[in-house]
Amino acid sequence: MYDNLKKKYGQNFLIDKNIANKITNLIYSKNLNVLEIGPGDGRLTYKIIEKKPKKLDLVEIDKDLIAELEANFKKYKFIDIINKDILRLSLNRHYDIVISNLPYYLSSKILEKLVSLNNDPKIMILMFQKEFAERLIANDLNSINSLVKCFFKIKLKFNVSKNCFRPIPKVESSVLIFEKLRRSLISKSEIESFIKFKRYVFSYKRKSLRKILKRFSFNDYENLDLRVEKLSLCEFIKIYKAIKL
């Protein structure tokens, strides 16, 4: 079946049972509302079911996989299978956990969608390309982690060899866990303008803050000669709130 996978969806199925167990062992309780993005052939889904969720929504973009998913999981009344693009789907239900092996080329866009939900999940267990994961957990700020860290604490749980997938990708992967902050650092209503701000600032990350911010006549910071990546997140948010694109 791997010969028929679609490159446009970035499909690489996890086949290693040990890794699937390690991922689902991060599910902290039974009786939870769970969202799995991109279940593929359902191998990870079976492991999620063993954790006895209250509700399990499977969102799969590839219509050619839906028939197999429906055949395999039709006996589970708590499972809904949704053939939609996650980026175009309205997620109105509250989820305790979001779990996914995210397609590499959509990782950033899907993360932005997840942190923009009105009802934040308590936990997200997400697998990324290792290089992307390293940018998320980096101490230095970047365009990717600056938004996510406003809402979640991020931890690396373990790395995953490319040999655990079929077809075998060219890169290694990492599983991260995202734990919802008790208090978000920006409001949901600020997300859109914050995204515009961070994209603008990090597009000139090699320049000093003085040069980047001169168009805003911003002087309320003691060291404008720093690069943006050397700011703390709180400092970055303070500047954003003072400017607000």
The per-residue pLDDT string of the chain (245 residues; one tens digit each, 9 = 90 and over) reads 444 544 444 568 999 999 999 999 999 999 999 999 999 999 999 999 999 999 999 999 999 999 999 999 999 999 999 999 999 999 989 999 999 998 888 899 999 999 999 888 999 999 999 999 999 999 999 999 999 999 999 999 999 999 999 889 999 999 999 999 999 999 999 999 999 999 999 999 899 998 998 888 776 777 788 899 999 999 999 999 988 66
Of 132, 147, 180, the position where a domain reaches its end is 180
Range of the domain at 115: 2-180
Q: Are 137 and 228 within one domain? A: no
Distance in angstroms (rounded) separating the CA atoms of residues 110 and 170: 21
Q: Are 111 and 215 within one domain? A: no
Q: Are 126 and 53 within one domain? A: yes
Short-list 127, 206, 240, CA closest to 173: 127
DSSP character for 168?
Answer: P
Of 128, 150, 180, the position where a domain reaches its end is 180
pLDDT of residue 112: 94
How many domains would you assign to the chain? Answer: 2
Distance in angstroms (rounded) separating the CA atoms of residues 36 and 114: 12
Q: Are 138 and 96 within one domain? A: yes
DSSP character for 205?
Answer: T
Residue 59's DSSP bridge partners are 37, 82
Q: Are 73 and 20 within one domain? A: yes
Of 134, 162, 180, the position where a domain reaches its end is 180
Quote the radius of gyration of the chain (alpha carbons, Å).
19
Q: Are 124 and 208 within one domain? A: no
Short-list 2, 33, 27, 9, CA closest to 175: 27
pLDDT of residue 10: 53
Q: Are 151 and 220 within one domain? A: no
